[in-house]
Structure 1
Amino acid sequence: MDALTLLLNRHSQPRLTEPAPSGSCLENIMQAALRVPDHAGLKPWRFVVCEGMGRHRLGSLFEQSAVANDKSAKEVERAAQLPMRAPMVIVAIARYTEHAKVPWVEQVASASCAVMAMQMAAFAQGFQGIWRTGDYAHCDTVKTGLGLQPQDEIVGYLYLGTAVTEAPAKPPVDAGMYFANWRSVFED
């Protein structure tokens, strides 16, 4: 699949099963993350690849978070099962480093680009996935459990695996709705 076809047909796939990427496919995914824009070469990202028992440990952190945040018994039970929705979950972290020319927002943006690059690399190799956030990406219990500093951010959980079903085609979007008004501001 060529790059333009890949980008123009990107979609999220929430229904995932085995197999997950492994070997050279997983290495390609990791290398794609490391090639994203990175002002001043700070490498402001860290990744935790959760498979097997790692998904259970992540689920345990989600469960602890649900308890700490007074969620209902049903939500606590569900929290532990969330990472089981795919055979692999990659936790993407923006690891902030103070720098005069690279503000926090740029470092978070770089880490976010890394998630997109990993998802595209997975798709290019025949895998599918979905980038999720939610309460557990913004919870101090989870951040502490992952050893993060207060200024670090979880930019998402990239769930990867093999599609259970074919995703429906996305309808085309009129680019003029998002570009024309701004473009005209600078035209004569």
Structure 2
Amino acid sequence: MPHPNPDAMAFLLSRRSRPAKTLRAPAPDRAALEPILTAAARSPDHGKLEPWRFIVLERGALHRLAGLVEERGPDLGQDADQIAKAASAYRDSPLAVVVVEIQKSSEKIPQIEMTYSAGAVCLALLNAALASGWGANWLSGWASHDRAFVEQGLGLSADERVAGIIHIGTETSAPPERPRPDLDTITEWVTE
């Protein structure tokens, strides 16, 4: 017999990311962030490999990374608007958590499952931040896919990549609801 959790279901049915550009200080301090990280680390992890880790970016680190975005953008052919938008995502954020995917060697666990696990961690982190009352948004962007940026700016090794960057802060305005998928068009029921 199931034991429903109506509050959790109501949250999941109404959850809504908050645009990162609307998030401001204060952000969660370390004590407030630890249970959010703990909840995210409870994500599915086939083989118990922990193919991910966290990098918490506080204000000083975010400003440093904004500068690196501005340095790397021209080398990558980004136009001035794209560079400014990407830099402001770092510069204006009160706090961000980078979920780093780590490809580990395993004879039993396919690498794609490690990628799925890292994605599950991103969503769990986003939802845990929202459930804790913070505004949060999952972003990545062109800079997070640039090897020079992630190695120089975040210290990632060759077997690591950014799965997502979860920006967390105080919500300054609630976004309007957006259209959601039509369940009938994306669901197939198989009976035999």
- Specify which of 95, 105, 112 is matched with residue 102 of structure 2: 95
* 1:42 match: secondary structure: coil
Give the deviation of 1:67 after TM superposition. 3.2
Letter of the structure 2 residue corresponding to residue 156 of structure 1: G
5+ residue gaps in structure 2? 1-5
2:55 matched residue in structure 1: 48
1:139 matched residue in structure 2: 146
How many residues align? The count is 184
**1:67 correspondence with 2:79:** no
Quote the Cα distance in structure 1 between the aligned partners of 2:10 and 2:126.
14
Quote the Cα distance in structure 2 between the aligned partners of 1:170 and 1:73.
29
Further displaced range: 92-101 or 144-153: 144-153
Give RMSD over aligned pairs: 2.0
Contact 1:49–1:91 under 8 Å retained in 2: yes
Contact 1:62–1:142 under 8 Å retained in 2: yes
- Specify which of 84, 91, 100 is matched with residue 91 of structure 2: 84
Letter of the structure 2 residue corresponding to residue 148 of structure 1: L
Give the deviation of 1:126 after TM superposition. 0.7
* 1:161 match: secondary structure: strand
* 1:169 match: secondary structure: coil
**1:179 correspondence with 2:184:** no
* Correspondence list, 1:21-60, <5 A: 21-60=28-67
Further displaced range: 165-174 or 106-115: 165-174
- Specify which of 7, 10, 13 is matched with residue 12 of structure 2: 7
* Correspondence list, 1:103-118, <5 A: 103-118=110-125
Give the deviation of 1:48 after TM superposition. 1.1
Contact 2:62–2:93 under 8 Å retained in 1: no
* 1:49 match: secondary structure: strand
Give the deviation of 1:98 after TM superposition. 1.1
Quote the Cα distance in structure 2 between the aligned partners of 1:21 and 1:154.
22
2:3 matched residue in structure 1: none
5+ residue gaps in structure 1? none
Letter of the structure 1 residue corresponding to residue 25 of structure 2: E
- Specify which of 119, 122, 133 is matched with residue 126 of structure 1: 133
1:152 matched residue in structure 2: 160
Quote the Cα distance in structure 2 between the aligned partners of 1:104 and 1:151.
11
Work out the percentage of aligned pairs sharing the same amino acid: 32
Letter of the structure 1 residue corresponding to residue 100 of structure 2: I
1:165 matched residue in structure 2: 173
Give the deviation of 1:80 after TM superposition. 3.1
